[in-house]
Structure 1
Amino acid sequence: MSIPHTIQPEYDLIFAGGGTAACIAATRLAETFPERTILVLECGPTTKDKKEHIQPGMYMSHLAPGSKTTVLHVAPPSEDVGGRAVGVPIGRCVGGSSSINFMVYNRPAASDLDEWEKTFGNEGWNAEKLIPLFQKSETYELGPDMPTHGSNGPLKVSYGGGPGGSGLGVWKEFVDVGSQIEVDRPAAHEGNGFYEGSVNVFFRTPKWISSEGRRSDVAHHYLYNKNLPNLTVCDGCIVNRIVIKDGVATGVEYLFNNQVHDSAPQTILTAKARELVIVSGGTMGSPLILERSGIGRKDILQRADIPLVVDLPGVGEGYQDHILLCPLYLIDSREKTMDALFRGEPATLKAAQEQWEADGSGLMSTNGVEGGLKLRPRLNELPELGPEFMEYWDTEGFADKPDKPVLSVGPLAMGLNSSDPSLASLKAVSIATFLCYPISRGHFHISSSNPCATPDFKSGFLSSPGEVAALRWGYKKGREIARRLPSFRGSFEPAHPKYPQGSAARETETQPVPLGAPKMEYSKEDDAAIDEFLRGAVQTAWHSLGTCAMKPRDQGGVVDNKLNVYGVKNLKVADLSIAPGNVNCNTYSCAIAIGEKAAVVFAEELGGVCV
């Protein structure tokens, strides 16, 4: 047996987890306090200089069976999702999901951020304070002088495709067609400006990809590109629990992950922290670390035979995700998509690699997520959605927050998640739709004191009828755009509702209909067929958050606005699990902002100013 890392017995700060927020905060603090030693323990493998974490087009490889960079959590079957067991894969590697995600650049509404302060009492967590941190992290290569965007940050943003382009054109069809058939929803250059002007406009989707065709992950752009002798990052280290003595976090217990280091000993080791322990295991990691440490709901800890240290019922509760639907549409065989690349077809893979190596262009330099619409019903459209939706609309307070969309809609140049063999000889696109503010809630808890045991996971997907009504409306909107795209060649029937015989909603077209063609009409039976289809087809958007919420303890909170875990000194949480309310974006952007904010908060407490 061999020891994979030399880990000192004591550090000033220890991060339990090495994902997006941890890499940012640890690096910022190491630069601010060169005299302090910092340890980051990441469960998964290193990502340094590996093509699968640098080339954007390789991202689907991380979802392949046997991947060591993700871990799949599966919820029990639920009738809310057609009796299926929904799975959620999460990043497990240095850099976390920033190293493996879809790289979609999509930012929240200002009111999302303001609610973190106004609704949940977190002073300093508002749009005015947080937007500069979004800017600090990025170089927006599409126009660095644009309001709310950054011009000198470590992460670059472009349309992808590298200097020679990607060859994917579905975004232009989507924007052109959608902006013509949707009343008062024009084409726009900007769909990520935080405010009302970014809602109900069609736009080309920016990406966390540089103009040179490289992924903008935090590991390579915050961490690996710097020589910080006071910062130690160790991969393949599972944090078992936080060591707590007399109400103070004093260190962590860890062991080596034999899936990463197969010859490492499996003994429990300890590292002490002189000043702070920061739990940063993500939405599906941080609550488990806290519960194994004796922090959580009493009955859950008792079932796992773990002594109670702090009775904190909010740990692991409030799980949320953006619920995603991806119906498929066939397109002209001459159009370019990502499917052949994702299937690993030798000729396509070889050509894409060679083009990327030559100039950073082509399919390997993009993600296939091409256009967007943050969709919010106009007042005259609300009756279309029905009374169940209106209850949801009122519960979420949409009427007074015009910067909040209900759905995010956009084309994917791929037949996402379809294993149907017939698609290998066809070309298809997905019109992806996800619900921005689900009111369904789930949970994520330990089932055992063993850190490798299967967790107790409930997704909560579609437990609210209002969510189904919203997605039904979004499906119809996407369908009307799809059937007018110049490249449209019909619906891929297995990935659509099974309408009743004789229904006017049954589609037989194999060519696009005119822009001015009448829109589909749906009966109650048709709507029921759509609802059944939705429940059987929705999936994760890989946007999990909320299981260690930053809100008052008596409201189910786990941390305060300084990210302190209630009831324990020198223990903090910094990752998407702290989000007290949902956000309408692909959550990578918020994880970045949380990492930057955490660095500011911790630096102030340590007597400095974050660089």
Structure 2
Amino acid sequence: MSDFIIIGGGSSGCLIASRLVQSGASVLLLEEGPARGHPLLDLPAGYMKFLNSERFLKYYPTTPQPQLGGRSMIIPQGRILGGGSAINAMVYLRGTAQDYDDWAQITGDQGWSYQAMLPHFTAMEGNAELSGPHHGTQGPLKVSHLGHMNPVTAAFLAACDAIGLHHNDDFNGPTQAGSGRMQHTIDGHARRRSSAVKAFLAPIKTHKNLRLECGARVDQLLMTGDRVTGVRWQQNGQTHESHAAQIMLTAGALASPHLLMRSGLGPETQLRAAGIAVRADLPQVGQNLQDHCEVPVISTLRRGMGYFGQDSGWNMLRHGLRYVLSRSGPVTSTGVEACAFISLGTDPRPMIQLYCVPTVYVDRTVSGVDPTWGLTLTPCLARPKSRGEIRLNPADPHGLPLVDPAFLTNPADMQAMRDGIAKAREVLAQAPLRDMVTGALMPTDFASDSIDRHIRATVKTNYHPVGTCAMGSVVDSHLRVMGVQGLRIADASIMPQIPAANTNAPTLALASRAAELILAP
């Protein structure tokens, strides 16, 4: 019997396992995916080869979205040791100070305020280029700028500056607004991915107090009375039961509420409809789903510009050779090198994160555009107001859940997306970017009703679901699940409000705070 069982070996699970083992506790870490990915995933550009593959991703189809003409989309989640940190685009952003101060206000716990959370960010960060009060330089999670920037990206930044989106050297510094290069979880010397496995789990993988099981799917939480005492899990066709003094659930914003509900912890009406015995009526489990969503604005570029065709044939070979010999060139780029954070209306906090992708980039469910020399500017809602939900499928409660992201159901989100597209077009019209652009590819009609049709036809996830086991409604501010004993949740599902940032860094910071809470005397 272990002191702790951790369900999910993603970013949170790896960090918490490391802290607990180092404290002298024994830990069983269960991960559904494989222990290792493809070697290409270690290269900054390598993840793009796996974006449309279920090899290391678990696909969650959404329910048909009436507000989007009945479209159904896919929300992928990492299915590999390290979770999203092992297969994502490696962007390292935290959000604004107000994001965390809002958490503190919602929970009534100042331990979630920005000033309290900042040391969790800086302690884990090993930044190769930035320092000062907002950064750490000696931590295990390596952070740097990319080793290569496409000329189209440089033109995008100049165009942003021309419309008043002035250069910001550090999106994780005192202010977020403006345009600039994004930092990434990449070792600035080796030019390789710094995942949660490398940063936190690798140093303790052979420790006698850690038992790591991959390919392990947890079917159910086991309970005695109102206490969660263990888990039932499957591996290689065999069923296992393991018990521990405390259980940590770190499976992510889609899987964590689903496991709770399958185990009888959730909305009573849903559980009864699915034939599951109710162990605790927790009506907010699965509610409050939030995700950043985005819409592409695609232009054609002059021949030879951007990244089109650079990942195949002779180009791929010469770029690969350059990387091997000098750790430089396009292989050291994720292809998403810069963005702009844009405020709308009277609110000074950015509402739009405008990504610059120097190629044609659309979701796999979107058709009507072919690969070519192109540029995709992607307005993404940094602080969406729409709220969705995760529900049990009563016909198959142990299969995939019903995921309703409810994108753009709040009218304010739809208007913000229209405004974001207008800003993208304004950027495209500025020199030197306009001299590279040869035409509009998607959308081509900019009448207001056509823009709305384009938004509904192309909006997609930015892969950042959060909020489905939120602090204040499912867990308390110490991350203990309400109504039961022996169970905490420490992943993106506990965020009561989505931060204006790619969510891997915030998830790691909350995991660091979770470890602190667990180990507190």
Query: Counterparts of 1:548 and 1:453 in 2: how far apart (Å)?
Result: 20
1:151 counterpart = 2:72:
no
Match status 1:42 vs 2:31: yes
Contact 1:559 1:572 in 2 (8 A): yes
Check if 1:455 corresponds to 2:443. no
Report what 2:198 is aligned to.
220
What is the identity, as a one-letter code, of the residue corresponding to 1:447?
N
| 1:486 to partner: Cα distance | 5.0
Structure-2 residue corresponding to 1:180: 162
CA distance in 2, matches of 1:253, 1:300: 22
Q: Indicate which of 174, 178, 182 corresponds to 1:205.
A: 182
Could you list the per-position Cα deviations for residues 21-64 of structure 1 after superposition, in whole angstroms to 9, with x for gaps in the alignment? Answer: 1101111111122xx2101101111126x413311211123322
Contact 1:548 1:558 in 2 (8 A): yes
CA deviation map 1:369-397 (0-9, x unaligned): 12221110354xxxxxxxxxxxxxxxxxx
Cα distance in 1, alignment partners of residues 458 and 498 from structure 2: 22
CA distance in 1, matches of 2:322, 2:368: 28
Asked if the contact 1:22/1:280 (under 8 Å) is kept, the reply is yes
1:536 alignment partner, one of 457, 464, 485: 457
Q: Is the 8 A contact 2:219 2:234 kept in 1?
A: yes
Contact 1:549 1:559 in 2 (8 A): yes
Compared with structure 1, are the counterparts of its residues 336 and 100 closer, same or farther at alpha carbon in structure 2 (3 Å cutoff)?
same
Structure-2-length-normalised TM-score:
0.94
- TM-aligned CA deviation for residue 487 of structure 1: 4.8
Distance 1:430 1:56, change over 3 A: same
CA deviation vs aligned residue, 1:463-515 (integer Å, no higher than 9, x gap): 1121111111111111111232055323343x21534xxxxxxxxxxxxxxxx
Q: 8 Å contact 1:335–1:487 — kept in the other structure?
A: no
1:62 maps to: 50
One-letter amino acid matched to 2:274: A
2:283 aligned counterpart, secondary structure:
coil
Q: One-letter code of the match for 2:443?
A: H
| % identity of equivalent residues | 28
Matched, 1:580 2:504: no
Q: 3-state SS of the aligned residue for 2:108? A: coil
Deviation track 1:141-161 (CA, whole Å, cap 9, x = no partner) reads 1222x3311111111221212
Paired letter, 1:119? I
* 3-state SS in 2 of match to 1:44: coil
Q: Distance in 1 between matches of 2:266 and 2:115?
A: 33
Instruction: Name the CA shift for 1:86/1:423 in 2 (closer, same or farther; >3 Å).
Output: closer
Q: What is the aligned partner in structure 1 of residue 313 from structure 2?
A: 346
The partner residue of 1:413 within 345, 351, 358 is 358
Mapped partners of 2:187, 2:128: distance in 1: 8
Indicate the residue corresponding to 2:436 in structure 1.
Answer: 488
Give the letter aligned to residue 437 of structure 2: R
CA RMSD of aligned residues (A): 2.0
Match of 2:257 among 280, 287, 294: 287
- How far is 1:172 from its partner? 1.7
1:363 CA drift (Å): 2.2
Task: Give the superposition deviation at 1:207.
Answer: 1.6
Paired residues of 1:82 and 1:532 also in contact (CA < 8 A): no
Q: Does 2:9 align with 1:32?
A: no
Partner of residue 389, structure 1: none
Contact 1:305/1:449, CA 8 A, preserved across alignment: no
Give the Å deviation of 1:573.
0.4
Residue from 477, 501, 509 that aligns with 1:593: 509
Structure 1: gaps spanning 5 or more residues: 1-9, 257-263, 380-397, 500-525, 552-556
Number of aligned residues: 515
Query: Is residue 135 of structure 1 aligned with residue 122 of structure 2?
Result: yes
- Conserved 8 A contact 2:106-2:496: no
Alignment of 1:129-528 (within 5 A): 129-144=116-131, 146-161=132-147, 166=148, 168-182=150-164, 185-193=165-173, 195=174, 197-199=175-177, 201-211=178-188, 212-226=190-204, 227-256=206-235, 264-265=236-237, 267-273=238-244, 275-337=245-307, 339-341=308-310, 345-377=312-344, 379=346, 398=347, 402=348, 404-417=349-362, 423-424=370-371, 426-447=372-393, 453-484=399-430, 485=433, 487-493=435-441, 495-499=442-446, 526-528=447-449
- Over residues 407-461 of structure 1, what are the superposed CA-to-partner deviations in whole Å (9 max), with x where a residue is unaligned? 111311221127779744x311111111111111111122259675121111100
Q: For the residues of structure 2 that align with 1:548 and 1:299, how far apart are their CA atoms?
A: 17
Matching residue's letter, 1:411: C
Contact 2:153 2:356 in 1 (8 A): yes
Structure 2: distance between partners of 1:497 and 1:333: 20
Q: Helix, strand or coil for the counterpart of 2:111? A: coil
TM-score, structure 1 normalization:
0.81
In the alignment, structure 1 residue 548 sits paired with structure 2 residue 515: no
> Whole-Å Cα distance in 2 between the matches of residues 100 and 329 of structure 1?
27
> 1:365 and 1:421, CA in 2 relative to 1: closer, same or farther beyond 3 A?
farther
* Structure number, greater radius of gyration: 1
- Residue 385 (structure 1) aligns with: none
Letter in 1 for 2:309: A
Aligned residue for 1:268, secondary structure, equals strand
Aligned counterparts of 2:156 and 2:118: Cα–Cα separation in 1? 29
Q: Are the equivalent residues in 1 in contact too, given 2:358–2:376 (CA < 8 A)? A: yes
